[in-house]
Each structure stands twice: as structure tokens, then as C-alpha cells.
Amino acid sequence: MRKLVVFIVILLLGITAFSQHEGIRRYFSSYKLDNDTSADYSFYNDTTIDNFYKFMPQQKVSDNTLGLLNPGNPYLPALFSDKEASHDFVFLNNYQAFIKSHKDVVYFDAQTPFSRFDFYGGNKGLEIVKFILSQNFTPYFNLTFNYDISNSDGFYLNSASKVNALSFAGAFTKKKYQNHFNFIFNKINCNENGGIADVNRFMSGDIRAVDNNVMLTKATSTISQLGGQYNHEYRFGQYTIDTIIRDEKNDTVINKTLRSKFSIVHDVTFDRYIRKYQDTKSSFYTNIYSDSTKTNDSVTYYQFNNKLLMCLNIRNDSTGNFLKLYAGLKNRTYSFLIDTTHKTTYSSTYITGDLIFKHNRTFLQANVDYCLFGGDAYDLSASAKLQQMFGENLGINAKVGYSLAYCTLFETYYTSNNFRWDNDFAKPGAANAHIDLFHNKFQLSVGANLNLLHDYIIFDQQALPTQIHNANLIVDVYANKTFNFWKFHWYTKVAYQYISDKQYVRLPELVGYTSLYFMTDMFSKALTLQIGLDAKMNSNFYGYAYMPATAVFYLQDDQKFGFYPNLGFFVGAKIKRFRVFAKLSNYNSLFMKPTFFSLYRLPDNPFAFNFGISWEFYN
């Protein structure tokens, strides 16, 4: 009730205050940094109302995720190609949507102070608060504070979660000397229930979902990260001075432009990760190696990266075409500590390079990393992506990549109260390719993804790491289209996924999502209203089970699930920079048989009511 009152008050303030804003002009530019800078549109696009009702972080990764739709709970995309790149700390692989990372930090150049406040609430104590503040203290110096916090009691027993994700970033970009730094802090606290105890009783519907007994009642896990990054670049070259006439009165301004074809880049990153798992005695685990009364496992991981690059920059100012070449060395030192008793430390030196090329309607980017010596000797990672426009609206996106690298330290050696292994695995390899043909005016996209795995690692029916030497081909073809009929809009995406060896990779064959909504402007276009329905569904498959002690998805052969239409109804509105929505999720669970599983013993959330607001400020 308290959350609803707060929500109504903020909503009324937003409606009454909209006239204070001066339109939707943006007063900042934003970008990300990975050797070179790349434009970021995550905040720019947030003035739109489309997809605002998809407020959970994992919905930004995929429309079809497997797992509880709660913050801080592990998830897995239904399409293999939607899977995120492996995290440096393996225990965060299935939580990446909830945390901050160095590569995703957004830097700003704000003409006026920019801030945004988001709040989402709903059943079972769900609260998500997001706040960002960015300000330029000089024309060249910006600081940005970004903080997300979420809480949820969960719909099932012992499934509460809490997430804190914070980043603090700064940029000093005065021509010859470019400086960027960031600090990040992440912490995920999650109760682990191991799933509902009696699946048949749940599916019979004779008991409310929230009253089902669960496999674990005292288990908890905590994952935390503390890290920092400093990147600076010195650009060699000379300034050219131009006199620019600004208005009809012939007022002039002196414009100084740095002509630099060569620069040196230095980047340093440090991170400390800790994962703890605690539990009391139960029958959930088969093996007990240390203590039969309680479990108190911990893993600490340290990583230090040091990179030095030379950059060649050839640019045509009249056309905007350019060629950038980065080449240099990087050192990676990391340490894996298990329960303060077993420590492994490695140091590796890589040769690394990037190519970025733009010519008219062609944009190409390629990267290669090769380990010369050290613990990761002869590891290789290479990728290239291309965007080619054939006109104003028609184009293709293409990508290819290949990696051959040692297994993670966790996969080769691990010891805890319930799991132990010591493996000598060959290097896993993976090749991937992607092509997407799109037409912006027709709002149409068709494409395909290909992944070829060899010597890859899976977690078997006992949740133990196992290497599969036979190659496995995974291909999906998809199409998505938005149809517009007057003020009605229908977005739909369907995908077919082929897996040559389904014995070891368990994902659905058919995946679909659709959204049908009515949108109109009201009150002299001061307010945009949106009312619609959405649905997601996938075909039957033997989905994964989740192992709380090690935070991995593993194979199971007991239950097959799918073909459940998860239906939603939403209403949204936008008033200049103020947005609001309310949504009913999985409302068909009120009258359909409860078969809405997406993981073994872990049904999706039942019927839920959610709401949220987003409000931007410039002052």
C-alpha cells in the first residue's frame, strides 16, 4: 500500500509539472569506451514509450528469458545467440543484466546537469529504484553517478533477493589529453530455494503457488564486486585555427581543431570478486565433504589488466570517413582463491589489435587478442563486424568470430562442502556468425545466427563439469516486424532454433514474442497514451535445472515443459520527459493450468501487477 501511495503522488506531480519542461531536446551526448569511443543511445532512446513496460533488466537481454522474472535471480536466454559473453568471474555469468561493468559504463558531455529517476514496484515487495546524475564542471570535465537498487520478496518461499549496483565515472577530454575513469560496486544477495518440492501438486492447482514447499529453506548466496578502471590517451599533432561567423551581425568565434594522426593509449583495470554460499543441513545435496551441519563456501577472484596501445588515425574531415588502427600489448594477472586454502595465480601477456573503418555507408570493426606467453599461452580470440547500408533504410549487419581458450579455473578445479572436481580439459573452441537484413522504413528485420562448438563444457545431470568433444552446431533463423494500422501497432518476433546435439544443449526449438498496442496523442499532443497486450511462448523442451551451491545451470531428464502462453496487459503514458506504466503479467495463470515452468522445479512468476515511472530533469 505504501508503494502505491508513493507511486500515485509521484504520478500526480509529474502530470502537473510537465509544463515546466521545454520539450524533448537532449542537452547531452553520451558514449561508451572500449579503446575507441562509441555512441551510446540507451538514455537517448529512453524518451520513447515503446517497450517501457518491459522494465526488468533481463528483458533488455532477451524477450524470452528462462528463469524467475525477478531482480537478482539467475536467468538464461531461450535463444543461444542471445547469450551474453562469459563474464570474467564465472559466478556472474547468469546475473549480468543486474550489475554494472566497466565496458558498459556510459560517459557524458552534459551542457546542463542531467538527472533521471526511475521507480518500479509490484507484488511481493518488488521495488526497483534507479538514479543517475551527470554534470559538467567545466566544458571538458564531467562526473556521472549511477546507482540501481532493487528488492523483491519473490513469489515462492525463500526466494527474496536484493541487488545494489553502483558506478561513478569521470571524463576529462581536453583535446590532446583524454582521461576516463570509473569505479563500480555490485552486490547481489539472494535466497536459494532449490525449486518447489512437489511439482505434481503445483501443477494440479490445488494449492497456491506461493504456498508450495521448497527444496531449501535456509540457503543464501552473495556475490560482490569492487573495481576500478583508468584510461588515458595522449594525442600527438598540431592545432588548426578557424574563424567561424556565428550570426548575421558577423559575430565570430575562434575554433581550434586538433589534427592528430597518432596517439598512445594506456588502460588499467582492477577488480575483486567474492562469492559466498551458506546453508544448513538438508537432503538436497548428495555429497558432504567438510561439514554435515552447515555449509559456508567462499571463492575470491582478483584480476588486474594493464594495456598499452599505439593508435594510427587517418581521417577525412570533409567526408567523415576514417581508418583507426590500434595495436599493442596487454597483461592479465588473475588469482583464484577457494575458502582461503587453495590459491592459484596466473599472469599472461597478449598481443592485441583493433581496426575501425568507416567509408560512406560502410562501417567495419575487427579485433584480435593472442596470448604470447603465460598461463593462457596461445589463447586466441578474433572477431569482426560489418554494417553496410544500401540506401537510406536498407542495410545488413554481419558478424563473425572465433575463440580458442583455456577453461576457467572454476571448471578445472573446485572444492567445496558439496562439490569437488579436478579436471584436465582441452581448450574449448567456438565459432560464430551472424547476419541481419533490415529495412528501417518497413520496420522489418530478418536474419540468422550460427554457433559451432567443439570441446565445450557443460554441467551434466549431477551438476558436474563435463567436456563434450563432438562438435555441436546451433543455428537460429528469425524475423521481426512491426505492422502499423492507423494508431494500432503490432510487433512480433519469431525464431526457429536448430541444435544438432540436443543431448547436451537444452533450449527450445521455437521461440516467439508479440505485442499489440494502441497509441495516440492527446491534449494537443501533450500526452501520449499507449494501451496494449503482449505474449511470449516457446516450444516444449527438457529445460535446465539450477544448482544453488555453484550457480550453474545443469542438465535434467525428469521434466519437459513449454508451450505456455504468458500473457500481459499494459497501459503507458508519456508527458514530455515523464513516463508511466502499469502492467498485469501472466494474467492467464488465473484461469489456466499452472504449467508456466521455464527451469526445472522453478516455475515462472504467477499473476502479478507492476507499475513504474521515469522522470528526467535538466537544471
Return phi, psi of residue 423, to 5°.
-115, 150
CB 348 within 8 A of CB 374: yes
The distance between the two most distant Cα atoms of the chain, rounded to a whole number of Å, is 86
Interval 564-575: pLDDT, tens:
999 999 999 999
- Nine-digit cell at 462? 549431477
Distance CA 560, CA 600 (A): 8
No. of H helices and E strands in the chain? 3, 35
Distance CA 46, CA 233 (A): 31
Interval 240-259: pLDDT, tens:
766 665 555 555 555 667 77
HSE, side-chain direction, 13 A CA sphere, residue 488 = 4
CB 189 within 8 A of CB 275: no
What pLDDT, on a 0 to 100 scale, did the predictor assign at position 19?
Answer: 34
- Nine-digit cell at 549? 551451491
| DSSP H or E segment with residue 16 | helix 2-17
Structural domains of the chain ordered from first start: 2-618 (2.40.170.20)
| DSSP H or E segment with residue 581 | strand 578-585
Interval 504-517: pLDDT, tens:
999 999 999 999 99
Distance CA 227, CA 104 (A): 13
| CB neighbour list of residue 249: distance below 8 Å, 6 or more residues apart | none
DSSP 8-state symbol, 427: P
Question: Above 80 in pLDDT, residue 2?
Answer: no
What pLDDT, on a 0 to 100 scale, did the predictor assign at position 14?
Answer: 46
Interior/surface letters 370-382, b for 16+ CB within 10 angstroms, e for the rest: bbeebbbeebbbe
Query: What is the full DSSP assignment across 63-113?
Result: SSEES-SSTTS--EESSGGGPPPPPSSGGGTT-GGGS--GGGPPEEEESS-
What pLDDT, on a 0 to 100 scale, did the predictor assign at position 5?
Answer: 46
Mean pLDDT for the stretch of residues 393-402: 98
- Nine-digit cell at 225? 564486486
Question: Above 90 in pLDDT, residue 48?
Answer: no
Q: Distances from the Cα of 440 to the Cαs of 126, 135, 394, 480, in angstroms?
A: 37, 34, 7, 12
Q: Distances from the Cα of 539 to the Cαs of 56, 277, 481, 496, 497, in angstroms?
A: 23, 34, 21, 10, 10
**β-sheet bridge partners, residue 465:** 459
For the chain, the residue count is 619
The average confidence (pLDDT) of the chain is 91
Return phi, psi of residue 30, to 5°.
-135, 150
Question: Above 80 in pLDDT, residue 1?
Answer: no
Quote the percentage of the chain above a pLDDT of 90. 80
Return phi, psi of residue 19, to 5°.
-70, -10
Confidence of residue 525 (pLDDT cuts 50, 70, 90): confident
Interval 15-41: pLDDT, tens:
444 433 334 567 788 999 998 889 888
Tell me the whole-structure pTM to 2 decimals.
0.92
| CB neighbour list of residue 540: distance below 8 Å, 6 or more residues apart | 508, 560, 561, 562, 563
Helices assigned H by DSSP within 164-299? 199-204
- Nine-digit cell at 591? 484461469
Query: Pick the residue with more confidence: 48 or 368?
Result: 368
Confidence of residue 201 (pLDDT cuts 50, 70, 90): confident
Burial class (CB in 10 A: 0-12, 13-18, 19+), 323: middle
Query: What is the full DSSP assignment across 564-577?
Result: --EEEEEEEEEETT
